[in-house]
Amino acid sequence: MDFLKSSAGTLISLLSLLLLLSTCSGLYEDQIKKFDWRSVHVGSLKHAYVDLNHFQPRVLLSTHEQVIGSLCPKTGEIIWRQVLEKKPRGDIKLLQVSGFADDSSDTAAAPMGSHLGFDMMTVQGHAPALVRGWNTNIGTIEWEWSIMPLNTERAQDAVWFYSNSVLYHVVPAWRSHIEVTSYFATSGHTTGSTSKIMAAWINPESCLLSGSFYVCLDGKQLISLDLLAKSTQVIATSLGSEPSSKIQDLPGLNGALIVDKKLVSVNKDQAVCPDLSSDSFIVGSFNRRKVIAYADLINNMLNINAVYLDDCSPVPELHLSVAFADHYGSPSLRSFDCKSTRNSDGKNCLFLLSTSAESIVAVQQGRVRWAREESLANVIDTQFLDLPLADSEGTLENEMKGKAGDIATAFMRRITTQAIQIKSLFLHVIGLGPPPTDTQRAGLVRDSFGLHKMLVLLTRSGKIFGIDNIAGKHHWQLYLPNVAGFENSEQMRLIVQRSSKHFPLQPLCAIVAKSVENGNGVLFRFNPITGQASEGGLLQLNYKIKQLALLPETEEDYVKGVLILDGANKVHVEPKHATPLAHGLYLYTADLKTAELEGYYVKYAGGELSALPIWNVRLGGHNSEQQIISVASKNPIEHVHSQGRVLGDRSVLYKYINPNLVAFVTQAPDATHKSVLNMYLIDVVSGSVIFSMTHRKVRAPLHIVHSENWLAYSYFNDKVRRTEITTIELYEGSAQANNSVWSSLQAPSMPLVERQSYIIPTIVEAMRETITERGITNKHVLIGTASGGIVEMPWHLLDPRRPISSTTQGREEGAIPYIPELPLPTENYINYNQTVARLRNIYTAPSGLESTCLVVATGLDIFVTRVAPSKTFDLLKEDFDYILISIVLVVLTSGSLIVRHLASRKLLKQAWK
Amino acid sequence: MCYKLLIIAALIALSSSEVVIGQEDLVDEVSGHYTIEGKVYAPDVGPGLGQQGHAVALPNGNKWQVDLSVSINNGEYKGFVREDGQFIISGVPSGSYVLDVYHPDIFYEPVRVEINPKGKFRARKVNYMQPAQVVQVPYPLRMKPLMRFKYFQTREQWKITDFLFSPMVLMMALPLLLMLVLPKMINDPETKKEIENMQFPKMTNDMPEISEMLTSFLAGKQPEPKEKKPITANKQTKKRN
């Protein structure tokens, strides 16, 4: 009987679930790429080979993002791409393309598909080291073998080189000896025993491998050793002076090095041209002769020159001079190749450069042929900005904003603006109107629903992009050299200081970063629509940044000031005139390592700001093992529309909506439980711990979303080996303590806490809640999965109030009965098959429409779309049948007219009877 | 009885698969690290089709082998698929892993692979709800495409039948039918007359005529219907009499 009951229960719950799912929004097939786009990246260049003489010309590359791939040399598009393992396993140590070996005696080239040779070989990781052979035409793997070094620590510094079908594994034992093991490249069998070469002169700071030579810098001389030579003879090469920078190897030449922008050879069989001086050198071949090409950036012009290696005479055909845009950063030449024709004139040579802004630039025939912006593989912050108004709307906006004194002036202003509008319309019609501004010409004008915005992306390399969120076009790029993220693994920040709402004033964004040179703070302000620096642009601060906060808008220029807490706990405000607004602000800092929180009160007295420490919290545990792994506060622009939740008995359960509530998650290893995770909800104004929870046998990866009165976080449960999501909701109870103003200092009693855990049948990579203009629309949680998909999960399914037994109360409340496993229907994947490799973060922003939320997912790729959690209730459906509705209207009106006529005739007839 | 049979069958299945695993037992030469082996079958071409299984190019142009990735712990360990679908994941320490095969268009069922410290492999179905339940699958792994992802909803198309059988139309059409057809079916003249008198005059009286309202409004007079009403009422009474 019980069995029957439970099965009936599950049936009911399943049915209700199905009903709910069917109401979920999904995409239609004809909406593909209608309001979404994806850009695919490979990452910043590590190794590259341009090969134009293959039957299928290609650029083979490996990157710092552990990606290997092949690009089309004509357009720069990706032909294929393989995303390897994450670091340290995926770290690519060597990329060897057959036919690109040092000497022509290379016999690795073998027919495709055979297991004897290889097209391309990669060596990655150190423990184990994986050696893989790839088919370069389609990108599939051919063979794979691995070795596990005995001493894994030492193997971290191991280097590899390839010569004559043999792969050499060079493991240095610092200040002692070098171990060299050789393997047959394609099979992994050792060719003999490991040879130990005594070398007490090697140290981790200044050694490298150039071809088969192991070279170390020792003061004014280079000490080197040929690892392939029969006799282990140490060669010393003296330099004129001690080099000021690190030595580099020159790939392609055995034993050649770049020391202080000049070439040096430690191999007496290999001559180089020692008189050349350049930032970057590469070796290639031109008209069947080996050449050295070098590139320098002089006054924004990129000059590429080349000399023949044998006699150091210049190659005039390869000389190039190209205008090189600022935003690429400083270039370095990585590879070049020429299509071999008899007596080539150098016009069909392609030079590949990588830049400090992580771009890949291809130069051919005196111009930049294509450029790939690979810094976009590391987006760290994004903002959506409203586009500027068209002029006419702007004046209208101005009028609405103006604080009109009396009716007469308001009326006069109205009349004059209308006159101006008519005049401009007239001028426009006869073709004498003012020329459209740059932004207008680019189509950057606000649309009526606020869906078209400027997407500003900040990348880890310091490059900033302004991208059209609908078309995906890059409108501007900016490059900030010498900036980096902060301590405590905090990234640079992108802040909107002034939005586009204040019409004659342009919007203003700021980037807060750390200077690489001295560790002090850097503030860069720019116009996010045009990408031009404004308000003086780059500002070097003379203090370190510890914490920052945004102030409210100032009265005069509507700029939100940036409040900065420096290393010595002093408070600064930028711009200065916003300083008085900082009075009465509360700040907190969190140290991840020690898990210590500090709360400060900012006081403005006598023209001086000061930060008063008012509370501190130690989350380190009794033996200070706990470390903070995640901090989640609410989105400051969030609006909560509904203050409570109606229960089954028609009473209201009021939400506990505390904007100062921040969730902290700490993790520590534990003797009995492997790993313990603690979650704390702390009011960061008063410093009181509102709620805390402990999970045992649970570990990172942890992802957390915090919004309204709820919190959801995912973690890995080691005990049952699955990913779970715990959700928490906070309620004040059936009465609100103060329904108009929230004060953390007069905090209401401890909230009621509802909690529940769910199983999610995938690995969670990122989580974010949707956000809309007024918060009326339902909240969904966007969950990025390991496959690169983004699932839209309605909050109904994550609701901790889902009743376990199907009581009538829960059902009346509209909650679905509890099922432990969350469904992931494929219709809810907002990015369908446009998966985002290595998904790292999802950002959301409200649009002008209440129903719609803009989404950008970043990782190796970028995916931009919009979602409508409660469907587009404020828009007509795009498949709305205008014809049908007009036909129905016409038919109904004409029908009613005819019928009335008939009815009156009948009435008349009846009257005559 | 049924249960017993089931259990026996399950036992047989378990024992037979264990034998297979015992034969395939492979301890890697690498100390404490093992290699997971398997084969991914091409989408659209099932394993039943055998040798004629050519690689199928999916709509996005690339070969399926490149779009597909075999990964454990979200890319901590990865395997790449050869042109014939074979893959290995090398250098995996002993433990329990969920092996996922990701392809943007095709769904492959994940498999839990367990490697014990002695290097014995066991593959079983992933069951997050009841982790203790063991349903073994053969090892080396055979990953078969289960289905194509259905990412899109189908658009509703306007059909005349849908329109006619929608509840709104039915609700409107049926009473109309009754109203029009029923009176004609009644043969008795008395009742027929009664129905006629009952229904139609009422409707006309209830609905104010727009033109009349307009004229009365423009003329600024009291609307006429008030005078009319008694007449119709009289008529009715007259006729009844």
Is residue A139 over pLDDT 80?
A: yes
Query: How many angstroms separate the CA of residue B14 from the nearest CA in chain A?
Result: 23
Q: What is the pLDDT of residue A188?
A: 84
Nearest CA in chain B to A784: B74
**How much of chain A exceeds pLDDT 70, in percent?**
91
Among A398, A424, A441, which residue terminates a domain? A441
- Of A313-327, A649-663, A893-907, give the range with the top mean pLDDT: A893-907
User: pLDDT, tens digit, for every residue of A280-296?
Assistant: 899 888 888 888 999 99
- Summary mean pLDDT of chain A: 85
The answer to whether the Cβ–Cβ distance between A833 and B76 falls below 8 Å is: no
Backbone angles phi, psi at A904, to 5 degrees: -65, -35
Q: What is the pLDDT of residue A710?
A: 93
The secondary element (H helix, E strand) that includes residue A364 is: strand A359-364
Residues of A in contact with B83 (CB under 8 A): 113, 135, 138, 140
Mean pLDDT of A365-381: 91
User: pLDDT, tens digit, for every residue of A146-196?
Assistant: 888 888 888 888 999 988 888 999 999 888 888 898 888 888 888 877 888
Residue A568 touches partner B, C-beta closer than 8 Å: no
Residues of B in contact with A86 (CB under 8 A): 75-76
Let me know whether A435 and A556 are in one domain: no
Q: What is the pLDDT of residue A877?
A: 77
Residue of B63, B98, B126 lying closest to A138 (CB–CB): B63
Q: What is the pLDDT of residue A598?
A: 92
Residue B119 touches partner A, C-beta closer than 8 Å: no
Residues of A in contact with B153 (CB under 8 A): 26-28, 827
Residue A715 touches partner B, C-beta closer than 8 Å: no
Residues of A in contact with B75 (CB under 8 A): 83, 85-86, 90, 786, 838
Residue A514 included in any domain: no
The answer to whether the Cβ–Cβ distance between B129 and A820 falls below 8 Å is: yes
Is residue B204 over pLDDT 90?
A: no
Query: How many angstroms separate the CA of residue B15 from the nearest CA in chain A?
Result: 25
Backbone angles phi, psi at A477, to 5 degrees: -135, 150
Secondary structure, 3-state, A635-697: CCCCCCCCCEEECCCCCEEEECCCCCEEEEEEEEEECCCEEEEEEEEEECCCCCEEEEEEEEC
Nearest CA in chain B to A904: B204
The answer to whether the Cβ–Cβ distance between A128 and B30 falls below 8 Å is: yes
Confidence category of residue A442, pLDDT binned at 50, 70, 90? low
The answer to whether the Cβ–Cβ distance between A788 and B104 falls below 8 Å is: yes
**How much of chain A exceeds pLDDT 90, in percent?**
35
Nearest CA in chain A to B107: A826
Scan residues 121-180 of B and list those with Cβ closer than 8 Å to A: 126, 128-129, 131, 149-155, 158
Residues of A in contact with B211 (CB under 8 A): none
Residues of A in contact with B30 (CB under 8 A): 128, 146-148
Q: What is the pLDDT of residue B184?
A: 74
The answer to whether the Cβ–Cβ distance between B80 and A759 falls below 8 Å is: no
Return d(Cα A627, Cα B175) in angstroms, integer: 73
Residue B42 touches partner A, C-beta closer than 8 Å: no
- A22, A31, A85: best to mutate for the B interface, most B CBs within 10 A: A85
Q: What is the pLDDT of residue B28?
A: 41
Which residue spans within A84-218 are E strands per DSSP?
92-97, 120-124, 129-134, 141-147, 159-163, 166-173, 177-184, 195-198, 207-210, 213-218
Residue A465 included in any domain: no
Residue A622 touches partner B, C-beta closer than 8 Å: no
Let me know whether A437 and A559 are in one domain: no
Confidence category of residue A391, pLDDT binned at 50, 70, 90? low
Amino acid present at A152: T
Q: What is the pLDDT of residue B14?
A: 37
Higher pLDDT, A427 or A781: A781
The answer to whether the Cβ–Cβ distance between A821 and B31 falls below 8 Å is: no
Confidence category of residue A421, pLDDT binned at 50, 70, 90? confident
Domain that holds residue A89: 42-200
Residue A164 included in any domain: yes
Residue A59 included in any domain: yes
Nearest CA in chain B to A139: B66
Higher pLDDT, A353 or A219: A353
Q: What is the pLDDT of residue B207?
A: 58
User: pLDDT, tens digit, for every residue of B22-60?
Assistant: 223 333 444 678 899 999 988 764 443 333 334 444 555
User: pLDDT, tens digit, for every residue of B86-135?
Assistant: 999 988 888 899 999 999 888 999 999 999 888 889 999 998 888 888 88
| 8 Å CB contact between A214 and A255 | no
Scan residues 318-377 of A and list those with Cβ closer than 8 Å to B: none
Scan residues 10-69 of A and list those with Cβ closer than 8 Å to B: 26-30
**DSSP conformation class of A821:** B
Using CA atoms, how far residue A46 sits from A43, A93, A95, A533, in Å, is 9, 9, 9, 31
CATH number, domain containing residue A64: 2.40.128.630
Return d(Cα A64, Cα A76) in angstroms, integer: 18
User: pLDDT, tens digit, for every residue of A525-582?
Assistant: 999 988 888 888 888 999 999 999 999 888 888 899 999 999 888 899 988 888 888 8
Please report where in the chains the tokens 């310091």 appear, as a residue.
Answer: A462
The answer to whether the Cβ–Cβ distance between A786 and B88 falls below 8 Å is: no
Scan residues 877-896 of A and list those with Cβ closer than 8 Å to B: 879, 881, 884
Residue of A128, A135, A906 lying closest to B90 (CB–CB): A128
The length of chain A, given as a count of residues: 913
Residue A403 included in any domain: yes
Q: Is the dihedral of CA A146, A150, A155, A159 positive or negative?
A: negative
User: pLDDT, tens digit, for every residue of A854-891?
Assistant: 999 999 999 999 999 888 888 887 777 889 889 999 99
Q: How many domains does chain A have?
A: 4
Peptide bond connecting B140 to the previous residue in cis, omega within 30 degrees of 0: yes
Residue B62 touches partner A, C-beta closer than 8 Å: yes
Using CA atoms, how far residue A142 sits from A47, A111, A119, A691, B79, in Å, is 20, 12, 9, 55, 12
Residue of A27, A82, A879 lying closest to B80 (CB–CB): A82
